[in-house]
Amino acid sequence: MSSALDWLQFVLAPQMVNGLSIGVAVVLMALGLTIIFGLLDVINMAHGEFYAIGAYGAVALIGLGMSFWWALALTPLLMAVLGYVTERGLIQRVFHSKDRHTLTLLLTFGVGIVLEDVLKIVFGANPLRVEAPITGATELVGLFFPNYRLFVMAVGGLLIVAVWVLVFRTSLGAIVRAAAFDRYMSASLGVPISRVYAATFAFGVALAGISGVLLAPIYSVFPTMGRDFVLIAFSVVIIGGMGSIKGAVLAGLLLTQVQSISSLFISPVWNDPLLFGIMVLVLMWRPQGLYGKLGNA
Amino acid sequence: MKTKLMTTLIAATFTVGAQAQTGPIRVGVVTPLSGTYAGIGQQVKWGLDLAAKEINGGGGVMGRQIELIYEDEEANPAVAVQKAEKLFQVGKVDFLTGTVNSGSTLAVGQVAERNNRLIATTVSFADSITADKCSANVFRVNARAGMQSAALADWMASTKPNANVFYLGPDYEMGRSTVAAFKSAAESKGAKTVGEVFAPLDNKDYSPFFGQMRSARPTVIYTSVAGNDTVRLFTQMAEFGLNRNVQVVGASGTVTSQNLKAIGSAADGFVTGVGYSTSIDSAENKKFVASFEAANKAQPDLYGADSYGVLFFYKAAVEKAKSTDTDKVRTAMRGLQWATPQGIKTMRAGDHQAMQDMYAVKVNGGKFEIVGKVAAATAIGPDACTKF
User: Does residue A90 register a pLDDT over 50?
Assistant: yes
User: Does residue B44 register a pLDDT over 60?
Assistant: yes
Query: Per-residue pLDDT tens for B130-146?
Result: 999 999 999 999 999 88
A63 touches chain B (CB under 8 A): no
User: Does residue B11 register a pLDDT over 60?
Assistant: no
Let me know: does B186 contact B156? Beta carbons within 8 Å.
Answer: yes
A127 and B262 within 8 Å at the Cβ level: the answer is yes
- Give the per-residue pLDDT at B4: 55
CB pairs under 8 A between A and B: 86
User: Does residue B261 register a pLDDT over 50?
Assistant: yes
**Separation in Å, CA of A212 to nearest CA in chain B:** 13
B205 and A149 within 8 Å at the Cβ level: the answer is no
B239 and A18 within 8 Å at the Cβ level: the answer is no
Mean pLDDT of B321-342: 96
* Helix segments in A241-296, DSSP class H: 245-265, 271-285
- Give the per-residue pLDDT at B15: 45
Ranked by mean pLDDT, the top range of A99-103, A246-250, A292-296 is A246-250
From chain B, the residues in CB contact with A125 under 8 A are 39
State the DSSP string of B132-157. Answer: TT--TTEEE-SPPHHHHHHHHHHHHH
Average pLDDT, chain B: 90
Confidence of residue B5 (pLDDT cuts 50, 70, 90): low
A220 and B209 within 8 Å at the Cβ level: the answer is no
Let me know: does B161 contact B190? Beta carbons within 8 Å.
Answer: yes
Distances (CA, A) of A86 to A107, A179, B161: 11, 20, 60
**Separation in Å, CA of B236 to nearest CA in chain A:** 7
Confidence of residue A143 (pLDDT cuts 50, 70, 90): confident
Mean pLDDT of A103-124: 92
From chain A, the residues in CB contact with B205 under 8 A are 18, 22, 218-219
Sign of the torsion formed by the C-alpha atoms of B133, B226, B347 and B94: positive
Confidence of residue B339 (pLDDT cuts 50, 70, 90): very high
Q: Which of A135, A143, A147, A220 should be substituted to probe chain B, the one whose Cβ sees the most B Cβ atoms within 10 Å?
A: A220
Q: Which residues contact A189 (CB under 8 A, 6 or more apart)?
A: A178
Mean pLDDT of A147-165: 93
Q: Which of B197, B203, B235 sits opposite A220 (nearest CB)?
A: B235
User: Does residue B69 register a pLDDT over 90?
Assistant: yes
Nearest 5°: the CA angle B177, A222, B105 is: 35
User: Does residue B99 register a pLDDT over 60?
Assistant: yes
Mean pLDDT of A193-217: 94
Q: Which of A125, A148, A228 sits opposite B204 (nearest CB)?
A: A228
In total, chain B counts a number of residues equal to 388
B231 and A19 within 8 Å at the Cβ level: the answer is no
Q: Which of B304, B259, B310, B307 shows the shortest CA–CA distance to B277?
A: B304
* Helix segments in A139-192, DSSP class H: 147-169, 171-181, 183-188
H, E, C per residue of chain A: CHHHHHHHHHHHHHHHHHHHHHHHHHHHHHHHHHHHHHHHCCCCCCHHHHHHHHHHHHHHHHHCCCCHHHHHHHHHHHHHHHHHHHHHHHHHHHHCCCCHHHHHHHHHHHHHHHHHHHHHHHHCCCCECCCCCCCCEEEECCEEEEHHHHHHHHHHHHHHHHHHHHHHHCHHHHHHHHHHHCHHHHHHCCCCHHHHHHHHHHHHHHHHHHHHHHHHHHHCECHHHHHHHHHHHHHHHHHHCCCCHHHHHHHHHHHHHHHHHHHHHCCHHHHHHHHHHHHHHHHHHCCCCCCCCHHHC
Q: Cα–chain-centroid distance for residue A39?
A: 16
Residue with the larger pLDDT of the pair A236 and B1: A236
Q: Which of B200, B214, B215 sits opposite A269 (nearest CB)?
A: B200
- Give the per-residue pLDDT at A11: 76
Confidence of residue B74 (pLDDT cuts 50, 70, 90): confident
User: Does residue B169 register a pLDDT over 60?
Assistant: yes
- Give the per-residue pLDDT at B7: 53
- Give the per-residue pLDDT at B209: 86
Asked if ipTM goes beyond 0.90, one says: no
Let me know: does B81 contact B107? Beta carbons within 8 Å.
Answer: yes
Mean pLDDT of A154-164: 94
Distances (CA, A) of A279 to A173, A235, A253, A282: 29, 6, 15, 5
Mean pLDDT of B219-242: 91
Distances (CA, A) of B381 to A132, A151, B144, B185, B264: 45, 51, 11, 11, 35
Mean pLDDT of B308-326: 96
A92 touches chain B (CB under 8 A): no
Q: What percent of chain A has pLDDT over 70?
A: 97
Mean pLDDT of A171-182: 88
B208 and A269 within 8 Å at the Cβ level: the answer is no
**Separation in Å, CA of B163 to nearest CA in chain A:** 24
Q: Which of A57, A47, A105, A32 shows the shortest CA–CA distance to A227?
A: A47
Question: Distance (Å, rounded) from C-alpha B325 to C-alpha B315?
Answer: 13
Let me know: does A29 contact A52? Beta carbons within 8 Å.
Answer: no
- Give the per-residue pLDDT at A266: 81
- Give the per-residue pLDDT at A297: 45
One-letter amino acid at A288 equals Q
- Give the per-residue pLDDT at B388: 86
pTM of the predicted protein model: 0.79
Q: What percent of chain B has pLDDT over 90?
A: 69
Q: Which of B204, B105, B302 shows the shortest CA–CA distance to A211?
A: B204
From chain A, the residues in CB contact with B208 under 8 A are 15, 18-19, 259-260, 263, 268
From chain A, the residues in CB contact with B210 under 8 A are 14, 18
Dihedral angle of Cα B127, B130, B132, B135, to the nearest 10 degrees: 150
Confidence of residue B21 (pLDDT cuts 50, 70, 90): low
Question: Distance (Å, rounded) from C-alpha A150 to C-alpha B28?
Answer: 56
- Give the per-residue pLDDT at B98: 96
All domains of chain B in start order, with CATH: 2-143+280-356 (3.40.50.2300), 146-274 (3.40.50.2300)
Question: Distance (Å, rounded) from C-alpha B259 to C-alpha A127?
Answer: 6
User: Does residue B12 register a pLDDT over 60?
Assistant: no
A21 touches chain B (CB under 8 A): yes
Query: Per-residue pLDDT tens for B195-230?
Result: 999 988 878 889 888 878 888 899 999 999 988 889
A269 and B264 within 8 Å at the Cβ level: the answer is no
Mean pLDDT of B362-367: 90
